[in-house]
Amino acid sequence: MKGFFKYVFASMVGFIFAYILIVIIALAIVFGTISHYAGDMFGKSDKEVVLKDGSILLIDLKSQIVDRTEDFPFAELEFFEDEQLAVELKDITDKILKAKDDPKISGILLNLSIINGASTSVGDIRLALEDFKSSGKFIWNYSDFITQKAYYLASVADKIILSPEGEFLFHGLNAEMIYLKGMFDKLEMQPTLIRAGDYKSAGEMLINDKMSDFDRQQTEAFLFPIYDRMIQHIAKSRDLDEAELKIVADSILIKTGEDAIKYKMVDDLMYIDQVYDALKEMMKKDKLNLVKLKNYYGSEESKKEKNKEYTRDKIAIIYAVGSIGFGKGDAKTIGSDGLTKTIRKARKDENIKAIVLRINSPGGNALPSDLIWREVKLAAEAKPLVVSMGALAASGGYYIACPADSILAEPNTLTGSIGVFGLHMNLQKFWNDKLGINFDRVKTGEHADLMNPNRPITPEEQQIVQSYVNEVYNDFKYRVAEGRVMDAEKVDSLARGRIWSGVDAVENGLVDRIGNLYDAIDVAANMAGLENYRIKELPKKSSPFKNIPFLSMKMYSERAVKKSLGQDYTLYKKAKEIRNMSGGIYMQMPYEFEF
């Protein structure tokens, strides 16, 4: 018995000691994180480097480029490397523009191979780099290998250098869509698409095995102009002929680094150590001071506010990013509850003199879109409200934009898609024939189980849903006509679910002008009569401690799925979207394009 108590006591001591150790480690992590963030708040972050004269800003853009991120306290730990694959576009461009006037920064070294961001984001970064060059400072680019999107950005550089054995990919643009009809046929699943608008191709991926004529027409209408603009910008930056540049791409004439030099796409072939030596020689320095973009916050000289007094006047930038649905939303999705509350607060805040609504959304559920539309309309009646469109502001994304005083889009923005659809997925044969599962029911009325996925939709029910879709579609067109001050016939000719590029949308009146987020801020400031103002970004980010991974099973599960599926994770997300769509009315883009 004495030995038993001795064993139990030893086990208890061991358990208590282990528990205390775990608590100490957890507290050390938490307080270390608090210290880290407190340092950031008081300008003493250990990530902020001390700049020396002749510093070079190093930009690699390997992280995913997004409009909005959530704070994540452990992003720099190797175990959570997947969670740091996002950086805000405005943070990138702000730092490049700050570096332009920073006397400590002599130039920029780009290290570009693959860029994970929309073409509109790349265009904004390109504009910032062009503005940087206007200061007379240099930009060099080095690439181990270089993709087409990366080259579009690198072409701004004074000197483009490729690794001697590096690959050079330059072959034109391709927009590819996936069609699932054959799979559903094999599984004996029967989707029924109910829509308003010939061009409203959302859902065609479920019922077709190839592009419809309408969808092919609209895709060609924006893909080819995007390609032409890309060629024009590269040709101008590299002093090349546009026609010859297209021949180089179409015929894939560049297969080696020597080919890239021959066609004047690249200036030199070097390894990175040789690039560093060349920079030292050019700058007459024995040692380079390279500053990573994420660690750059400007020198003391660049931080000084000149001729600006403190002001309470603010312009609010409200981010609306992702698919539209109910609930609070987050950095990747738009929730009607969360966004309407944010817009309402900005409208009632006397210190906020104007609002810029930054939209990057393919649309989504019809009812939440309408709830957000109402708050945008009320805000536009109370104070200047300007919309800045990112890569996508289509369907429901355009619906919430149309009440604005002014709408700005990027040349490559995809917008419009004024149309509506509903989807019914009949799984009866799949359950019966594939799995041996049957359903039976008792109902109080003929249509008590309307849109039930476990039986076919009847022709009468299809007409009922079509009437809902038509009603929402007519409301959509009315909202556009009211917001854009257009007659009904004009709106009808622009609707039908058709997608427009930013350039085309300016020409047809759906958008007021071409411009980026900074241009939208300038428009809002002019409308409000502001010369001196502060920027307030909304919605406020949640506390970083809400995102502590070991408290979030959702983060663990998402991370595991991403790692196991790799590139197929996109298909997994699309399958979840399709499952959630069945039975609802939607204002949504047919797919997300990646050129």
- Provide the residue type at 338 as one letter: G
Tokens of 519: 């241009």
Angle at the Cα of 162 from the Cα atoms of 157 and 168, rounded to 5 degrees = 100
d(CA 472, CA 96): 44
Q: Of the given ranges (221-235, 286-300, 408-422), which has the lowest mean pLDDT?
A: 286-300
Q: pLDDT per residue over 383-397, tens digit each?
A: 999 999 999 999 999
Q: Which of 297-311, 512-526, 553-567, 578-592 has the highest mean pLDDT?
A: 512-526
Q: pLDDT per residue over 182-226, tens digit each?
A: 999 999 999 999 999 899 988 898 899 999 999 999 999 999 999
d(CA 214, CA 205): 14
Residues 6+ apart with CB under 8 A from 520: 356, 358, 386, 387, 388, 406, 408
Taking residues 317-327, what's their average pLDDT? 96
Position 553 scores a pLDDT of: 53
- DSSP class of residue 168 equals B
How would you label 89-126 residue by residue, b for 16+ Cβ within 10 Å and e otherwise? bbebbebbbbbbebebbbbbbbbbbebbbbbbbbbbbb
Predicted structure pTM score:
0.85
Place of tokens 């698919």: 323
Q: Comparing C-alpha atoms, which of 323, 334, 481 is closest to residue 402?
A: 481
d(CA 412, CA 227): 10
Taking residues 158-186, what's their average pLDDT? 93
d(CA 143, CA 61): 12
**Do strands 268-269 and 159-162 pair parallel, antiparallel, or not at all (unpaired)?**
parallel
Position 575 scores a pLDDT of: 62
451 vs 550, which has greater pLDDT? Answer: 451
Tokens of 503: 């350039």
Tokens of 126: 């390109």
Q: Does 9 score more than 60 pLDDT?
A: no
Position 41 scores a pLDDT of: 37
55 vs 299, which has greater pLDDT? Answer: 55
* Residue count of the chain: 595
Q: Does 331 score more than 70 pLDDT?
A: yes
d(CA 149, CA 165): 20
* pLDDT-based confidence at residue 545 (cuts at 50, 70, 90): low
Q: Does 413 score more than 70 pLDDT?
A: yes
Q: Residue 223 in 3-state DSSP?
A: helix
Looking at the DSSP bridge assignments, the partners of residue 143 are 162
Q: Does 561 score more than 90 pLDDT?
A: no
**Do strands 585-588 and 363-365 pair parallel, antiparallel, or not at all (unpaired)?**
antiparallel
Q: pLDDT per residue over 59-105, tens digit each?
A: 999 999 999 987 655 554 444 444 446 899 999 999 999 999 999 99
Taking residues 226-232, what's their average pLDDT? 96
In the chain, % of residues over pLDDT 70 = 79
* Cβ neighbours, 10 Å, residue 191: 20
What's the chain's average pLDDT?
A: 86
Tokens of 208: 């077709």
- DSSP class of residue 74 equals T
187 vs 310, which has greater pLDDT? Answer: 187
Residues 549, 74 contacting (CB under 8 angstroms): yes
Q: Comparing C-alpha atoms, which of 474, 468, 511 is closest to residue 492?
A: 474
Three-state secondary structure string covering 482-548: HHHCCCHHHHHHHCCCCEEEHHHHHHHCCCCEECCHHHHHHHHHHHHCCCCCEEEEECCCCCHHHHC
**Do strands 105-111 and 138-143 pair parallel, antiparallel, or not at all (unpaired)?**
parallel
Q: Residue 183 in 3-state DSSP?
A: helix
74 vs 149, which has greater pLDDT? Answer: 149
Residues 121, 65 contacting (CB under 8 angstroms): yes
Q: Comparing C-alpha atoms, which of 408, 430, 411, 421 is closest to residue 473?
A: 421
Q: Of the given ranges (133-142, 534-543, 556-565), which has the lowest mean pLDDT?
A: 556-565
How would you label 171-183 residue by residue, b for 16+ Cβ within 10 Å and e otherwise? eeeeeebeebeee
- For residue 335, give the H/E element and its range: strand 334-335
- Spell out the domains of the chain, with CATH numbers in brackets: 55-170+254-303 (3.90.226.10), 314-588 (3.90.226.10)
d(CA 386, CA 325): 22
d(CA 594, CA 164): 29
Q: Does 145 score more than 50 pLDDT?
A: yes
Tokens of 529: 């009569």
Beta strands in 68-133 (DSSP E): 86-88, 105-111
For the CA atoms of the chain, what is the radius of gyration? 27
Q: pLDDT per residue over 103-131, tens digit each?
A: 999 999 999 999 999 999 999 999 999 99
Position 203 scores a pLDDT of: 84
Position 526 scores a pLDDT of: 98
Compute the CA torsion angle 333, 375, 516, 125 (nearest 10 deg).
-20
Q: Comparing C-alpha atoms, which of 476, 460, 377, 361 is closest to residue 421?
A: 476
Q: pLDDT per residue over 453-479, tens digit each?
A: 999 999 999 999 999 999 999 999 999
Residues 440, 387 contacting (CB under 8 angstroms): no
Q: Does 268 score more than 60 pLDDT?
A: yes
